[in-house]
């Protein structure tokens, strides 16, 4: 846990968020600035700064499996969804607590910007 980390504070319920799912290792909540009709963030309960800093396969695996569960729960699994992990600043990471974006509910262009 990190005292000042935004997502650690959401996990501790110090900052409100619309939580949609919890697993043993993860919490999933709606992005405050959604980029698609469904935009959920899946974060490990343990503070890990980014994918580059991750070393626990159980935790990373749970993030991805929870993302798939969120997509099914949100009704976007069959139409299609994107799971994105921005890693470090050049890729657009702004919150340094590992998170998977789950985006869907509209057509998603490829390649991403």
Choose the stretch contacting ligand 5GP; rule: CB under 6 A; options: 27-35, 55-63, 73-81, 105-113: 27-35
25 is an active site residue: no
Q: What does 97 bind: ligand 5GP, Zn ion, none (CB cut-off 5 to 8 Å by kind)?
A: Zn ion
Instruction: Report the interface residues with Zn ion, using CB under 5 A.
Output: 2, 5, 7-8, 47, 97
- Residue 1 burial (10 A CB sphere; 0-12, 13-18, 19+): exposed
The site string for ligand 5GP over 62-101 (x = CB under 6 A, - otherwise) reads ------------------------x-----xxxx------
**Calpha distance 68→61 (Å, rounded):** 11
Choose the stretch contacting ligand 5GP; rule: CB under 6 A; options: 24-32, 52-60, 72-80, 105-113: 24-32
Q: What does 58 bind: ligand 5GP, Zn ion, none (CB cut-off 5 to 8 Å by kind)?
A: none
- Strand pairing partners for 82? 103
**Calpha distance 100→18 (Å, rounded):** 16
* Inter-CA distances, 52 with 19, 46, 49, 86, 88, Å: 25, 15, 8, 10, 8
For ligand 5GP, the binding residues (CB under 6 A) are 6, 15, 17, 29-33, 41, 86, 92-95
Q: Active-site residues: which are they?
A: 99
């Amino acid at each position: 846990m990190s005292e000042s980390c935004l997502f650690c504070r959401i996990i501790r319920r110090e900052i409100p968020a619309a939580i949609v799912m919890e697993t043993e290792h993860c919490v999933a909540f709606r992005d405050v600035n959604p980029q698609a009709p469904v935009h959920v963030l899946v974060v490990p309960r343990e503070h890990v700064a980014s994918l580059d800093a991750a070393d626990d396969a159980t935790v990373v695996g749970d993030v991805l499996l929870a993302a798939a569960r969120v997509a099914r729960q949100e009704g976007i699994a069959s139409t299609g969804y994107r799971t994105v992990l921005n890693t470090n600043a050049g890729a657009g990471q702004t919150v340094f607590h590992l998170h998977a974006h789950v985006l869907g509910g509209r057509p998603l262009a490829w390649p991403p910007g």
